[in-house]
């Protein structure tokens, strides 16, 4: 099997970007070890603080955020970073080719029950001159790399540099990622969906109608039965889509009028949309292709519908 370094070399990924991806991969291995030790390392439970999202931080949220901050600052080719756990962008160096956006531990509500969590990252080109929040506000089409690391029964890395999506598995004996699936391809059709059904009464009518028709199964207009899966961690639900198809959505809802969307554009929706599109799938808000959105803020939230291309297209028909 190819190592991560060999796979990047085969795709002719530039040296500077290869160095950054290797930095992210190495840090994720350390995060994996912290997650795996759990209560033995005293990293479970919550802190007394909230992040900029108004969410109570888990201890591992803070630990993993600091691990990534330190590693990216030491990398030498990262100008600045933006994180779910940071109010403002963090300047890393006076020079460097890249900006990095990340969610250090997606699904952190799953930590204390030993369920799936992961790290999501997005790499953008750094502009010339001084760096500010405005520097990060580039559409998802500008990403030069994106991926996630899933901390599950095995630790897996999903990665794209714009030349397809690949899956790597951590070999714990060698302590490095090995290529285990090249050229991931998402089936265009599916009979599986992922959504938080507890919010059904708060969805817009198009999404309610779409899900209602799925639940009618063979007796309904779709004329086939659908299964529902929900992990409550985007990284886990998207991983399932990459592995066996499906549609994942966290749609607009009215539960909190001040926060109609759940997922963050810059470090959740954009990197996942890049991975999915590179695997032949589609990603939309219901009204706009995610990768075409011009961001207005680093913590901007959006609705997300992504996965098998034909099923996403069917869902979007309800939104017209």
Helices (H) and strands (E) counted in the chain, each on its own, are 8, 17
Q: Using an 8 Å Cβ cutoff, are 248 and 241 in contact?
A: yes
DSSP bridge pairs for 105: none
Chain position carrying tokens 């969805």: 203
* Residue 201: Cβ-neighbour burial (10 angstroms; 0-12, 13-18, 19+): exposed
Per the annotation, binding residues for substrate are 106-109, 196, 262
Identify the CA nearest to 304 among candidates 243, 235, 257. Answer: 235
Residue 103 CA neighbour count, 13 Å, CB half: 28
Per the annotation, binding residues for Mg(2+) are 84, 103, 105-106, 268
**Cα–Cα distance measured from residue 156 to residue 277, given in angstroms and rounded to the nearest whole number:** 19
Per the annotation, binding residues are 84, 103, 105-109, 196, 262, 268
**Cα–Cα distance measured from residue 60 to residue 68, given in angstroms and rounded to the nearest whole number:** 12
- The DSSP result for 17-79, as a single string, is HHHHHHHHHHHHHHHHHHHHHGGGGT--SEEEEE-TTSPEEEHHHHHHHHHHHHHHHHHSSEE
Q: What are φ and ψ of residue 255, in 5° steps?
A: -60, -45
**Cα–Cα distance measured from residue 275 to residue 283, given in angstroms and rounded to the nearest whole number:** 10
**Cα–Cα distance measured from residue 90 to residue 71, given in angstroms and rounded to the nearest whole number:** 13
């Amino acid at each position: 099997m190819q190592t991560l370094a060999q796979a990047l070399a085969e795709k002719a990924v530039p040296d500077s970007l290869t160095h950054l991806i290797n930095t992210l991969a190495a840090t994720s291995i350390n995060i994996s070890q912290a997650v795996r030790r759990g209560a033995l390392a005293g990293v479970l439970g919550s802190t007394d603080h909230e992040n900029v999202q108004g969410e109570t931080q888990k201890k591992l949220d803070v630990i993993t955020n600091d691990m990534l901050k330190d590693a990216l600052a030491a990398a030498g080719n990262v100008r600045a970073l933006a994180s779910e756990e940071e109010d403002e962008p963090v300047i890393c160096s006076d020079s460097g080719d890249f900006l990095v956006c990340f969610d250090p531990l997606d699904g952190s509500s799953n930590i204390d029950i030993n369920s799936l969590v992961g790290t999501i990252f997005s790499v953008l080109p750094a502009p010339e001159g001084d760096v500010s929040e405005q520097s990060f506000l580039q559409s998802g089409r500008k990403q030069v790399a994106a991926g996630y690391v899933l901390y599950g029964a095995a630790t897996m890395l999903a990665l794209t540099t714009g030349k397809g999506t690949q899956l790597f598995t951590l070999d714990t004996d060698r302590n490095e990622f090995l290529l285990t699936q090249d050229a991931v391809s998402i089936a265009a059709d599916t009979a599986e969906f992922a959504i938080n059904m507890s919010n059904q009464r708060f969805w817009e009518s198009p999404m309610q109608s779409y899900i209602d028709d799925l639940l009618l199964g063979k007796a309904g207009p779709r004329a086939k039965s659908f299964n529902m899966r929900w992990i409550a961690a985007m990284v886990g639900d998207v991983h399932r889509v990459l592995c066996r198809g499906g549609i994942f959505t966290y749609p607009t809802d009215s539960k909190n009028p001040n926060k109609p969307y759940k997922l963050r554009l810059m470090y959740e929706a954009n990197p996942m949309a890049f991975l999915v599109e590179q695997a032949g799938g589609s990603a939309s808000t219901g009204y706009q292709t995610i990768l075409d959105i011009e961001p207005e803020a680093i913590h901007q939230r959006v609705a997300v519908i992504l996965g098998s291309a034909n099923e996403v297209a069917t869902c979007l028909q309800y939104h017209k």
